[in-house]
Amino acid sequence: MKYATKNLSDFLELPDRDILAKTRPFYEFTGELVSQEYHHWARILTSPSERRVKILDRYTNEVREMVMMASNNYLGLTTHPAVVEAARKALEKYGAGAGSVPLLGGYLDLHRELEQKLARMKGCEDAVIFSSGYAANVGCVSALVRKGDVVINDRLNHASIIDGCFLSGGTLRTFKHNDLASLEKVLQTTEKHGCNGKLIIVDGVFSMDGDITNLPGIKALADRYHARIMIDEAHATGVIGPNGRGTPEHFNMEGQIDLVAGTLSKALAVVGGFVASSKEVVNYLRFYARSHMFSTALPPAAAGALMAGIDVIQNEPQLRQRLWTNIEYMRTNLQRMGFNLGNSETAIIPIIVGADDLLKKVSREIHRAGIFVNPVYYPAVPKKSSRLRLSLMATHTQEDLDDTLAVLERVGKKYGLI
Ligand code: PMP
């Protein structure tokens, strides 16, 4: 096998006079992965994304059912009747699309109501919607951070935040994951060298590890060193906090975080992103966050569904309770079997495998056994920490969980993971 030791990062820099030349070896690489049954990206679903899905298996060319353990649809709202009905009503009333960017004619009353609802959920004065969580992070950071400013990231922050930092004119610094001493060191160095503004950015729940940021510690340091804080609530909204309002609620710190960003595509199960903050900040972002200003507003059906989804999160706490029952059950059993789950505390449960080669074989076997789990390799996670990434849902049944555990135990034993 020509590309046996290669990974995705090896095809980034392949200088050639033809800028398309790099795509040829990469095409061969992905073909080689398919021939070995190691290609587990972009599996095609022929059903809604629910607790069990039907996929068109690229290895057998047949449609088969799998237990879905790789969805961010934490509360099962993609197919919740109230959410689907609200989408249908909005579609009938407003048609398929918003027709324009929000500033120039694409701003519906539905969008405004959704912003206000999100702001209330996040305990902020106002909110602005983006076409995705990715766009929210890129737009927010690049609008607020300018030349002479410093932006300080947890090392495991999501790619969209890092991309926003690259687009901004500011200086990018990182601190060790969830390590306050490391953050303080960066803040001290920054003070010494001087700068204009400082923005600390963290994920509320980290997307590949499932642990929760130390928000009280971050806030204390931000206050001491006169920095602002932005938090990405992608995997926290609807999951943590007594009412599912996310990380600030979890730590009883609502209203104390300068910028609360998030996605509308995970627990809220549709598409879009938002930033909630003060009236002044939100007003500024409407005009300077380029991914908002230059991008068409969300489709009406999405906005309608999202309004209903926020109501479901508030009015059906039993969904979140069920999710947490499932999380505890899976974590306890996987730990009892002897898997390394890192520091996971939430619906994202990584199973650390380590070497890429081993993960490829393990993933192939799990896929064959009918469990849909994502393998995650470097550069998405640090080197030698390749992993399986499970995401739990409120709608998973006992049978779904037990079927998954049985496969993981069998495969884990076979490959020496436990
Ligand atoms: N932030 C985090 C932490 C995420 O995991 C994701 C989704 N992968 C995003 C932002 C981007 O959200 P979206 O999928 O809505 O663009």
**Residue minimizing CA distance to atom 14 of ligand 1:** 133
pLDDT tens track for 164-190: 999 999 999 999 999 999 999 999 999
Give the span between the Cα atoms of 272 and 73, in whole angstroms: 14
How many A from CA of 157 to the centre of ligand 1?
10
Identify whether 235 is a catalytic site residue.
yes
Give the span between the Cα atoms of 232 and 200, in whole angstroms: 11
> Is residue 32 in some structural domain?
no
Let me know whether 298 and 327 are in one domain.
no
How are beta strands 150-154 and 198-203 bridged, if at all? parallel
H runs (alpha helix) in 289-397: 290-293, 300-315, 317-337, 356-368
How many A from CA of 398 to the centre of ligand 1?
28
CATH number for the domain spanning 410: value is 3.90.1150.10
Give the span between the Cα atoms of 413 and 357, in whole angstroms: 16
Let me know whether 108 and 64 are in one domain.
no
Q: Decide: 417 and 408 in contact? Cβ < 8 Å.
A: no
**Residue minimizing CA distance to atom 5 of ligand 1:** 207
Average of pLDDT values for 158-165?
97
Identify whether 360 is a catalytic site residue.
no
Determine the atom of ligand 1 nearest the C-alpha atom of 272. Answer: 15
**Residue minimizing CA distance to atom 4 of ligand 1:** 234
Let me know whether 94 and 148 are in one domain.
yes
Let me know whether 54 and 105 are in one domain.
no
Q: Hey, what are 204's tokens?
A: 């509320």
Q: Decide: 125 and 277 in contact? Cβ < 8 Å.
A: yes
Let me know whether 119 and 139 are in one domain.
yes
Let me know whether 236 and 352 are in one domain.
no
> In the chain, how many domains are there?
2
Select from 315, 347, 371 the last residue of a domain: 315
Determine the atom of ligand 1 nearest the C-alpha atom of 137. Answer: 10
Q: What is the DSSP letter of 212?
A: B
Identify whether 266 is a catalytic site residue.
yes
Give the span between the Cα atoms of 74 and 97, in whole angstroms: 27
- Can you give the pTM of this predicted structure? 0.97
Residues at CB less than 6 angstroms from ligand 1: 132-134, 137, 158, 160, 203, 207, 232, 234-235, 263, 265, 273
Select from 285, 315, 345 the last residue of a domain: 315
Q: Which residue has the higher pLDDT, 132 or 380?
A: 132
Of 131, 207, 385, 391, which one is the catalytic site residue?
Answer: 207
Q: Map tokens 């305990």 to a residue.
A: 123
How many A from CA of 141 to the centre of ligand 1?
15
Q: Is residue 372 very low, low, confident or very high in pLDDT (cuts 50, 70, 90)?
A: very high
Let me know whether 325 and 390 are in one domain.
yes
Q: Is residue 1 very low, low, confident or very high in pLDDT (cuts 50, 70, 90)?
A: confident
| Domain housing 59 | 37-68+317-414
Select from 315, 340, 357 the last residue of a domain: 315
Q: Can you give 87-152 as a three-state secondary structure string?
A: HHHHHHHHCCCCCCCHHHCCCCHHHHHHHHHHHHHCCCCEEEEECCHHHHHHHHHHHHCCCCCEEE
> Is residue 354 in some structural domain?
yes
Question: What's the whole-number average pLDDT of the chain?
Answer: 97
Report the interhelical angle of 81-94 vs 300-315 (nearest 10°): 150
